[in-house]
Structure 1
Amino acid sequence: MLRMSKGFRTYLTTGGLILAASVYSACTSGGSQTETTNEASQSDFIDLFDGTSLSGWRGDTALWRVEDKAIVGEIRPGKELERNSFIIWEGGRPADFELIAEYRMSGQGNSGFNYRSEELADLPLALRGYQADIDAANTYTGQNYEERGRAILAFPGEQVRLPSVDGEISEYAIGNIWTAREKIDSLGNRDSLKQHIKQDDWNELRVVAKGNRLQHYINGVLMSDVTDDDEKNRKLEGLIGFQVHVGPPMKIAFRNIKLKNL
């Protein structure tokens, strides 16, 4: 065992205390910075829904209401729709953004979050544009579907690229699938991804749209990833809204809806 002189032991002890104090100070200081950064990041989000009214939103009040601090869309038995209908946020036309919202799907049916969309002039409350799909069976939840456009751009579990095309949309949108898409990679097996989605309970939807890259997450899991290089057909900004879909009676609820511009 190495023996140390008394003077060296005193210096080492004192130095150790100084070093320990310095490390503690650095760690606590770093922790505060992290909390501040997180708080600043959270403060960048704005609430799109006040929890009590449909102020700032435009939709068919026969289909949409506020219930238990959530925006609720419901199709009742005997009141089935002839076409899809949306409730549209009137606060702007987001371009690059991140949206987070919680949703709960009940019964059967289909819903979704539309973004970078346009309202059809001849069909009020109908949108054309990208959609983060939601369905009760979770067969398509998280996929990228272009409403009234190129149809399915990426199934759940797919990372795809959309190259430019010369022809009309009808030439490539066959069987409700955009046939010009190029699959780049797999994000996981569809059945495995489905296990991350809670049935008849609240789930978190997160959509990140930056430039021509579009990512859909459910409960923190990346479900689809699209890079849209189709300059003729892609959109880089537009309206956002939630959907009730033609089909059987259904109920969809959205709450804690937040948006951050990127």
Structure 2
Amino acid sequence: MQIDLSGKSAIVTGSTAGIGFAIARGLAESGAEVTVTGRTQARVDAAIETIRQAVPGAAVSGVAADLGTAEGCRALIDARPETDILVNNVGIFGPQDFFEVDDATWQQFFDVNVMSAVRLSRHYAQGMKARDWGRIQFISSESGLNIPSEMVHYGMTKSAVQSISRGLAKVLSGTRVTVNAILPGPTRSEGVLEMIRQAAEEQGVSQEEMEERFIRENRPSSIIQRLATPEEVANLCVYAASEQASATTGAALRVEGGIVDTMA
């Protein structure tokens, strides 16, 4: 299978590092014109340069904006009024005792993880529908199904975007616009590795041992028994963005290493 996205434009939110960066690079490798987004111009510029070095001739540019706000989403829309592919990846996470998560934190997680995707999808889906072609992806998580007790506030947001994904797919029924949720599991992103590094330091063990312990203690149902790589997640996202994935819509596409113990 040869995935060719030449002539297609893509926006990947939260794409200066981790899964988002891997998706942006994968789309660029497939020929798409990619817009990278991040909160600071410095990180956006660094990501663009890294992609250009890895993918000679890549058509990649960037927009710096805080997509956790309505103003930030408007800034991105003003800078890029249309796109063929939208990957709603931007998100925050962090373990915290349920009884210590205050209202402001709940609201922050909802604004960044959910409302950014709602605002951008609401805008870009209209153009896709008018052109009768488009791809929208919501980066959810296995945590949206297996709500982690240490991150109830995070799991809630990932359940929400999965619901929105399914509903929006129905809204766009009969068009050539597909909408899917992508469900990664624990992935070797910068944020996850930093969380594990801190835990390893606190417990006086190596990072490698802490990674193994994390999977064993927190995701014992994992079939691959390891963290996935951002590239493994990105591969599924690139396929879902392709013409070849034209009959895949309204789906929750799992790339979580078999953690969710169901066959559906």
| Length-normalised TM-score, structure 2 | 0.26
- When Rg is computed on C-alpha atoms for both structures, the one with the higher figure is 1
With a CA cutoff of 8 Å and minimum separation of 6, indicate the structure with the bigger relative contact order: 1
TM-score, normalisation: structure 1: 0.26
